[in-house]
Amino acid sequence: MSSRTRTRSVKTTAGVHTVRIPRQRGRRSDPFVIVVPERPSLTREALGFVGRGLWSIRRALAPTGLSVLAFLVAGLLHAIAWWSALVIAPVAAVPLVWLLVMQRRRPARSAALAWRIGLAALATVAAVWLALAAGFGPLDGPLALLWLLILITAQTAWLIIRPSR
């Protein structure tokens, strides 16, 4: 086999193989260049599968994303300014005020009232947790366990309340 019919490998960036096909006899055009991408690794395939799965159910996991964001924000606030807990603490009363205003404007009974009370209690506990976590750190004492319980409760309530498609 002559050197004119063999393919030559050209070094390029990592992960891409370029094969140059030499010029054919009698032709004066540029040679063809074929770029063959490298096969993705099993890890990349698995991460892509998990990422596509999570993206398809992103609305169902909204409380989980918000609670992870709150955990990171609380850790950042604790590291930068522990006194931010004193600013966040009054926010814990907002859900209770909302409950009282809603009951005065649109009185509810039985199931609707129970859901309102449960939602206000969950929001109050979450705001108290954020204030405590900003002051003492999100992993201090029982705050990590409380965060996990709030996350499970919020995610469960979200899956019950949210209309399924």
Q: 63-95 pLDDT, tens per residue?
A: 999 999 999 999 999 999 999 999 999 999 999
The whole-angstrom separation of Cα 42 and Cα 24 is 39
2 has pLDDT over 60 = no
The whole-angstrom separation of Cα 60 and Cα 162 is 8
How do the domains of the chain map onto residue ranges?
A: 8-38, 59-161
Q: Which residues pair with 8 in a beta bridge?
A: 20
- The vertex-25 CA angle with 5 and 12, nearest 5°, equals 50
Confidence of residue 17 (pLDDT cuts 50, 70, 90): low
Confidence of residue 130 (pLDDT cuts 50, 70, 90): very high
Q: What confidence score (pLDDT) does residue 40 get?
A: 86
Q: SS3 for 42?
A: helix
Higher-pLDDT residue of 25, 117: 117
